Structure 1
Amino acid sequence: MRRGRMRTLFAAALILLAVFGTAACGLFSTPRAGSPAPPEQQPATSGTAPPSAGIPSPGPPVLAVKIDNVADARPPVGIGAADVIYVEPVEGGYSRLLAIFASHQPPTIGPVRSARETDAVLLPQFGHPTLAYSGAAPELLPLIAAAPVTDASDGHQPAAYSRDESRTAPHNLFLDPAKLPPGAPWPGQNRIVAGPTPGGGTPTDHYEVTFPAATVGFQWSAAEHRWLASMDGAPFASVDGGRLGPPTVVIERVKVRESAIRDAAGNPSPIAETVGSGAVSVLRDGRSFEGTWSRPAPDAAATYTGPSGEPLLPAPGQVWIVLTP
């Protein structure tokens, strides 16, 4: 009975989060009704497998990991293997990453930090993923407990986490994903579409998103056919994989509002609202494609369309999604 009440609480909370404003974030699926079914997601190192007729079969189990992204936490470990990386605004004007792993799981991932309210609405589209994080505000814990996730925080799964003493706490917590319970399969209807380069677009060699206390930049490399990532003006590289850079970057313009939750310094925790619709820029193949995102519900993936309603699909490989006002 208690679990049933918690699920009811979670559903009500999601409705409240959604109705305060419109925004979205999600994955490249085609519209749910009256449109072709979404093709399958690509592994970060391989091309696209065409979907079968109808809804594609479910994908691999999904692991979601919250990644610290302040200067003291860099360089990260393992995130080059993620299928999707979200860049979220957090308190103090900084950003934090949510890395989604399905096709591959590296031996070590981190540094791991705390979850946010934004995650509670992002994650239902992945079915019932495992969520790895390190703590959360006490006010947020009931929402996580009621969410459709397997809670795999350091408090619930301590054997999967360890500290790197060569780094400064709290930016030194790392995860062994093999020691976590697996998530549920990625729902077939929400798996990523990859496709050919859309028509049109604007030639673009650099794009930068500015948060109050952080910047995220992308420089197009024609030689490597990907957008080389920078954080705060410096190249962003992982310990195990070198310079990070996805073939596709999505810039979603979302409504960001203040949560009632505050950090230790009194800064409000922002919520990037991720259900609704709005403007989007899809960066791929050295061009920027302007359009609209639409995500009707927390358990749905976003769709991305151009001015004439044509789908804006990513290139095969890793996708970054930046949530920005």
Structure 2
Amino acid sequence: MLGNTASPTPTGKTRGARRTPRLLAALALVGALSAGQAAFSWAGETAPHGNPAPTEATSPFTGLPAEPAPVLAVKIDNHKGARPQTALEDADIVFVEKVEGGLSRLLGLYSSKLPTAVGPVRSAREYNIEQLRMFGRPALAYSGARAEVVDMINASTLYGVSHEDFPDAYYRGTDHEAPHNLYGYPDKILQEAPAAGTSDDIGFRFADDAPAGGTPTTERAVDYGAATTSFTWSAEEDRWLTSFDDAPATSSDGDRLGGKTIVVQKVAMPPDSSGETPYEETVGTGSATVLRDGQAYETTWDRPTAEAGTTFTQANGEPMTFDRGQVWVVYEEAK
């Protein structure tokens, strides 16, 4: 999947995604490990137990080799009319969020590599402002929002790069009907955010081997009422395959979507200031189920402030380590 992504062009045809030269060669990781580097990844200067920190640049979002780079968050449509989406497979992290009417919306977080195009792009929500503050000052690509939310975005630390304010960074494709056919050019969006923050530690920890104590698991689903997101373990592909509303989720070039680690994070979802949209409360603490390597782990998530990252801790007090690769975070309403 990393080599042949196709994205809708303004004419509706597909073209290969242009990757920026951020992702280091995978051989660098193999060579580092064979030379005795620790298999545990972290963002600080010193590893647990006094081990020396690795010298190679590693993405704090995926645990894979990558140079620090600007962070771009994109609000992505998940209506049935918007599928298949473009370049979700290129995201470091995919967030699944509940919106009005029990539907779902996605947020793709890009840093390690940039596709040529991404989308369909849709509107932002009030909770995205607090949610994204743990990434420092990322660029946020979106199309439309309540006037009050636009004011909040403009007053926040985020670089809001909306379709309304920067139309040249977007285009209408012909693969879906409006309003599910707006796509963004990531390179042009980042040009409008010249001081966007670069990738940094957000609390995730990675290790090659799964920790002990997991429960063998093959499936997990989160139901929002009018939309369901589910994951099925594939031993053959060594990852969790994603489905939307019981149908296999694919990219616009036909590849199956899925992640190496799935986090089902239970959060409160009271109404936001409009009284209509759920507000995912991502600051605080709660329970989370982490899926990796065909196993489920019950953990505790903790994010003390909006500026802080989110940590995941096992019942024995040890950090929950993710598998290296794309991470999906699905918000589930805490009961």
Residues 155-205 of structure 1, C-alpha deviation per residue, up to 9 Å, x if partnerless? 121101111134211111001111122462335332642113111110000
For the structure 1 residues 43 and 322, does the alpha-carbon distance in structure 2 shift closer, same or farther, using more than 3 Å as the test?
closer
Distance 1:172 1:187 in 2: 29
Identity of aligned residues (%): 42
Counterpart pick for 1:193 among 178, 200, 205: 205
Residues 39-81 of structure 1, C-alpha deviation per residue, up to 9 Å, x if partnerless? 842676x8358xxxxxxxx921100000000111111001110
Counterpart pick for 2:145 among 133, 136, 157: 136
Q: Which has the higher contact order (CA 8 A, sep 6+)?
A: 1
Q: Could you say which residue in structure 2 is the equivalent of 1:148?
A: 157
CA contact (8 A) 1:236 1:243 kept: yes
Deviation at 1:117, TM superposition (A): 1.2
Q: TM-score, normalised by structure 2?
A: 0.79
Counterpart pick for 2:120 among 111, 114, 137: 111
RMSD over equivalenced CA pairs, Å: 2.6
Q: TM-score, normalised by structure 1?
A: 0.81
Distance 1:98 1:300 in 2: 19
Counterpart pick for 2:218 among 205, 213, 218: 205
Q: Could you say which residue in structure 1 is the equivalent of 2:282?
A: 274
Query: Do structure 1's residue 223 and structure 2's residue 236 form an aligned pair?
Result: yes
CA contact (8 A) 2:230 2:244 kept: yes
Q: Could you say which residue in structure 2 is the equivalent of 1:100?
A: 109
Alignment size in residue pairs: 284
Deviation at 1:227, TM superposition (A): 0.3
Q: Secondary structure at the match of 2:107?
A: strand
For the structure 1 residues 85 and 36, does the alpha-carbon distance in structure 2 shift closer, same or farther, using more than 3 Å as the test?
farther
Residues 202-234 of structure 1, C-alpha deviation per residue, up to 9 Å, x if partnerless? 000011111111100000000100000000000
For the structure 1 residues 35 and 297, does the alpha-carbon distance in structure 2 shift closer, same or farther, using more than 3 Å as the test?
farther
CA contact (8 A) 2:70 2:199 kept: no
1:40-55 aligned within 5 A? 40-41=58-59, 47=64
Distance 1:136 1:252 in 2: 25
CA contact (8 A) 2:271 2:278 kept: yes
Counterpart pick for 1:322 among 316, 324, 330: 330
Residues 13-44 of structure 1, C-alpha deviation per residue, up to 9 Å, x if partnerless? xxxxxxxxxxxxxxx97899x97899842676
Distance 1:310 1:133 in 2: 37
Distance 1:89 1:272 in 2: 8
CA contact (8 A) 2:60 2:200 kept: no
CA contact (8 A) 2:202 2:308 kept: yes
